[in-house]
Structure 1
Amino acid sequence: MYQTARPHVLPPQSFDELLGGGGGPATVGALRAGERSWRLLVVRALLDAAATEPTGPLPPLTAGWRLLARARSVAEPEVERLLTYPAVGMWAAHTLRRLRGTADDEAPLWVETGYLHALAASAAVRAGLEFRTAVPVRHGWAVLPALGAMRVPDGPDWGAAEVSASGGDREVRVAGRRLGGPDWHALTELRADGCTLLLDDTDPYRTLRRPVVPEPVDGTDEWQELFRSAWEVLTATGREEARALADGLVSVVPRPRSERFRPRSASSGDAFGTALASVPDDGEQFASTLVHEFQHNKLSAFMHLFTLYGDDGARLYYAPWRDDPRPLGGLLQGVYAFFGVTSFWRRRDHPLGRFEFALWRAQTAHALDVVGHSDGLTELGRRLVAGLAEQLRPWLAEPVDRRIGALADLVVADHRATWRAYHLRPDPDVVRALAAKWQEGRSGAGRAAGPSRTAAHDAAPVPGKPVRAFDTRAVLARWLLADRAGFEELRDEPGATVAGARPEDLDLVTGRTAEALDAYWALVARGEGTPENWVGLGLAARAEGDPAGDGLLAHPELAAALYAELDGRADPLELGRRLTAPGLG
């Protein structure tokens, strides 16, 4: 069906655009061509690995491939688009892992490999062929990729359904039911001026993890209106960037609504052209999410052509947009995505937009500095990081309203310190030595000095178990900037609306720092020394001009460990002041 092709070569301009975090329509077209070849290689490897596997009640895989080739001979553009559909990439990658023993699933293997027949049937429908085949049924659903799903009730969890098209009108039936009938759920097209995305709520491989059953959205008008609004924002923010995104993204996978200001989204290097997204708060948030995930899409496709790092993933790093430590590859993906997010918010001129810009320029610059010093990058990886850092550098000097900038600084310090408190473990010997010095100093027998520079060096991160998300105070800041009336309604019971939020957090973000300081101090003193409370104490102390704030924010993990070693017989603020002593480094 396919002939050997020459290796892919990116034009110099496209190469430079991608290294700089951008990429216009021509560049995205080159990436799509590379992804098509990558996709075919994975599918070919899957078919080779599955050649001797049982196919259950389904036809041989060779029959599916023949039907696919037949459809392509009639409707090549349609079938090519289908082969590069994002969920097809997830299917091929997941199923190949199953065949190689590196992944598992509850479904019989023939259900996974049999998706090829569903792909072929979908291609045949698009080509208008007369045909007859069988496709897998998962928990009562037979799916035709990029078309929709047919409900097939009253059967086993894993089965097969006949798909056919016959007669002069080539009427298509699945399990005897007509496409377009009451049991058929067709995918919705989200349309805006110049862009169309499929809202994929049926494909088993759409969620980028394990296969799932269809979850048809009840009413898609909200998604349509949100997409139309998002597209207006994208074109107003950057028409060329919007055009490139429209050329690259194919589908959106809807997920349930999340908390306000806490959208959830994802993408995968195996599924170029899709973004998984919770129901957005508004069009602007949706636009930001699409920019974010499309950056991931571009970098993943670029890394299928070039090597940016060589790292076994054993070393973990702080990623300013995650609560967990991340390997080098994850950090590199993050800086690329949040460079795009920063660029997006830089052009949104309202209080929340300026806050997001101030926040993400600082966090992205920090992460670029960290990843730039890694010895795991290739020469090309170093070029990419240096190019992003060079573009970001002048943005750091751009003015932001003082109040908004102060909120962004608070959120930056909050996330970094909370991450340290959860994921770094001070050396017990160092903690005991500091406790002894503290007690000597309190008794007048010696001076309670800060730890040595060597003692202050960070150990390798140890993933902790946060009791709440690290962005809790950031979410409150967003409420404050975008909806002051709504923010005031949070005061009686903030945790009911913003998971994990407490009244002292509201005091902190609104500038009632003396009240917040008293509240955090009392919590720590009575034994509720969670990382959030130690960091809150540090943030409030810093805002009040107490030098304890700098010590607590620089070394919250050490402050908490030392306080515990002293059995709580120390003033938490005094500990913070001592942690600013020279030599802490």
Structure 2
Amino acid sequence: MGETRPLPGEADLLDGWLHSRRLVLLKTLLTRAERARLPGPAARALREHWALLEDAEHHDPVAARAALGCPAAGNWLAHALAAPPDEEFVTALSGLGTLAATVALAAGCDFRLVLPATEGRLILPGLGSYAASAPRVRIAATENTVTLTPEDGRPLSVPREDLLGHRTVPQRGLGTDAPQGGPQPRWRPLTPLPGAPAVLDDQDPHLASETGRAGLAGLLPASVTAPDEAYEWRELWARGLDLLREADPERATEVATLVRTVVPVLWKPDGRASATRLAAPWAVLTTLPQTPQEMAEVLVHEVQHSKLAVLGGVVRLNEESAEAVYRVGWRSDPRPLGAVVQGTYAHLALADLWGRLARRASATSAERAAARAHAADYGAQVDHALFLLLGSGQLTRQGTEFVEGMRHRYERLRSPGVRAGGARGNTESAADRLTNGHFG
């Protein structure tokens, strides 16, 4: 894995590791809840929701596992486990109900639940949201239909297949509070992205609830409401994947297989950045890329962060020390060693990517020259970072093996035309240009 290239069976291995991690965190949450002496209604709801998760796992383990691996599920788990031991923790536990409902829907279970709506919406992670006219919503799932009914309100029935497929469906009894004066659908699915099972997720409540900018490394969640905005995201995603398929089919398959959600975010005015939350692998948080090349770069970069986020749950690569911080070419602030491992891994993949983009048959002379310059810039940054890592004395045995894999890959990428030292004249300006452009 240290070489960054996709490996046969790697996606299944990563999926298994992530699933094990999710089960451990769920069990941790259950243990904490049992020790918290919850109020009677909250304790009964917890038992009901946990039983539904178990039913879903027994009914269709593969579908339940896939639904539980949704990035939004990871964000909720991190939020609930971090909640203080008071009413805030009890409130956070209610998210288990929406997660259990989503997993049960994917697994094909029939069930009935009453779930609380937050700020007028009931959000099913990874699927979409229901505009509720009451604080509680009854959800009833049968073999083919899912019916959502607010207390003392009109029911809305959605075909289960359409709900799971993120399809927009005709809906009667629409609301009238649209900002443009038009009706708003009571059920709003996430936007599917073409050519992959990924979706555009601008509805994750546990990203929106981050206080200020600190929780998302300076990024803020953004909503995509206008049809032309969604079209722009879908178009850039499709063109970015097409570019990857032309330059690096294996990497294109990896991205299309692993990425579950693209999360639109905002940074500083006119600024562009991307990020991965370690609690929610396979979600790419990004400002809107300007070109297919930028989209391809963001996707490759953040997939590497997700891979390391999952790997870090089963293997310790380095010993952390608050005093040990390192200067790297892609950030202006000093970084702990774990962040240097993350950044080096991602930038090595980018050096590989730009080298392949330079060799595309359809690339113009100007595109080839620009791609070679990008590859050289990233290669210079990786060269320096590998020197820091291997001399740090903080790598574990597995970490040393992993970083040696990166070094071997970097040596194979080097050529007379693209050498770490060959671009030294451009390295400093490239580092300035890329500083803080990505967040791990």
TM-score normalized with structure 2 length:
0.79
Q: Which among 171, 187, 194 is matched to residue 184 of structure 1?
A: 187
The letter for the 2-side match of 1:263 is: R
Q: Which among 99, 102, 123 is matched to residue 143 of structure 1?
A: 123
The letter for the 2-side match of 1:162 is: V
Cα distance in 1 between the residues matched to 2:310 and 2:300: 15
1:271 counterpart residue number: 280
The answer to whether structure 1 residue 19 and structure 2 residue 2 are counterparts is yes
Structure 1 residues 323 and 409 mapped into 2: Cα distance closer, same or farther (>3 Å)?
A: closer
1:294 counterpart residue number: 303
Unmatched tracts of structure 2, length 5 or more: 159-168, 172-184, 359-366
The letter for the 2-side match of 1:300 is: A
Per-residue deviation, 1:295 = 0.6
Cα distance in 2 between the residues matched to 1:288 and 1:373: 29
Structure 1 residues 120 and 345 mapped into 2: Cα distance closer, same or farther (>3 Å)?
A: same
Cα distance in 2 between the residues matched to 1:34 and 1:301: 7
Structure 1 residues 140 and 56 mapped into 2: Cα distance closer, same or farther (>3 Å)?
A: farther
Per-residue deviation, 1:296 = 0.8
The letter for the 2-side match of 1:354 is: R
The answer to whether structure 1 residue 250 and structure 2 residue 260 are counterparts is yes
Cα distance in 1 between the residues matched to 2:141 and 2:19: 31
Structure 1 residues 394 and 125 mapped into 2: Cα distance closer, same or farther (>3 Å)?
A: closer
Q: Which among 16, 20, 39 is matched to residue 33 of structure 1?
A: 16
Structure 1 residues 113 and 205 mapped into 2: Cα distance closer, same or farther (>3 Å)?
A: same
Percent of paired sites with the same residue: 27
Cα distance in 2 between the residues matched to 1:99 and 1:365: 43
The answer to whether structure 1 residue 375 and structure 2 residue 393 are counterparts is yes
The letter for the 2-side match of 1:144 is: L
Higher relative contact order (CA 8 A, sep 6+): 2
Per-residue deviation, 1:472 = 8.1
2:226 counterpart residue number: 218
1:203 counterpart residue number: 204
1:341 counterpart residue number: 350
Per-residue deviation, 1:129 = 4.2
Secondary structure of the residue aligned to 2:406 is helix
Per-residue deviation, 1:276 = 0.9
Cα distance in 2 between the residues matched to 1:377 and 1:44: 30
Spell out, residue by residue over 1:408-463, the C-alpha distance to the aligned partner (whole angstroms, 9 max, x if none). Answer: 23415xx5xxxxxxxxxxxxxxxxxxxxxxxxxxxxxxxxxxxxxxxxxxxxxxxx
2:54 counterpart residue number: 69
Structure 1 residues 409 and 214 mapped into 2: Cα distance closer, same or farther (>3 Å)?
A: closer
Asked if the contact 2:372–2:418 (Cα under 8 Å) also holds between the matched residues in 1, the reply is: yes
Cα distance in 1 between the residues matched to 2:435 and 2:201: 33
Structure 1 residues 385 and 239 mapped into 2: Cα distance closer, same or farther (>3 Å)?
A: same
The letter for the 2-side match of 1:140 is: G
The answer to whether structure 1 residue 471 and structure 2 residue 433 are counterparts is yes
Q: Which among 291, 305, 318 is matched to residue 309 of structure 1?
A: 318
Cα distance in 1 between the residues matched to 2:191 and 2:236: 14
Structure 1 residues 110 and 137 mapped into 2: Cα distance closer, same or farther (>3 Å)?
A: farther
Number of equivalenced pairs: 387
Cα distance in 2 between the residues matched to 1:123 and 1:223: 27
Secondary structure of the residue aligned to 2:83 is helix
1:466 counterpart residue number: none
Spell out, residue by residue over 1:470-514, the C-alpha distance to the aligned partner (whole angstroms, 9 max, x if none). Answer: 438999xxxxxxxxxxxxxxxxxxxxxxxxxxxxxxxxxxxxxxx
Per-residue deviation, 1:238 = 1.5
Asked if the contact 2:332–2:436 (Cα under 8 Å) also holds between the matched residues in 1, the reply is: no
1:499 counterpart residue number: none
Higher deviation after alignment, 42-51 or 121-130: 121-130
Cα distance in 1 between the residues matched to 2:399 and 2:71: 26
Cα distance in 2 between the residues matched to 1:167 and 1:27: 36
The answer to whether structure 1 residue 165 and structure 2 residue 124 are counterparts is no
Cα distance in 2 between the residues matched to 1:474 and 1:129: 45
Per-residue deviation, 1:174 = 4.6
Secondary structure of the residue aligned to 1:263 is coil
Asked if the contact 1:191–1:228 (Cα under 8 Å) also holds between the matched residues in 2, the reply is: yes
Structure 1 residues 188 and 258 mapped into 2: Cα distance closer, same or farther (>3 Å)?
A: farther
**Aligned counterparts, 1:366-515, within 5 A:** 366-393=384-411, 395-399=413-417, 405=423, 408-411=426-429, 415=431, 470-471=432-433
Per-residue deviation, 1:396 = 4.3
Q: CA RMSD in A?
A: 3.1
Cα distance in 2 between the residues matched to 1:358 and 1:384: 22
Per-residue deviation, 1:208 = 10
Q: Which among 221, 227, 243 is matched to residue 233 of structure 1?
A: 243
Secondary structure of the residue aligned to 1:138 is coil
Asked if the contact 2:46–2:96 (Cα under 8 Å) also holds between the matched residues in 1, the reply is: yes
Q: Which among 330, 333, 336 is matched to residue 339 of structure 2?
A: 330
Cα distance in 1 between the residues matched to 2:68 and 2:327: 37
1:361 counterpart residue number: 379
Per-residue deviation, 1:365 = 0.7
The letter for the 2-side match of 1:392 is: Y
Unmatched tracts of structure 1, length 5 or more: 1-17, 102-106, 416-469, 476-585
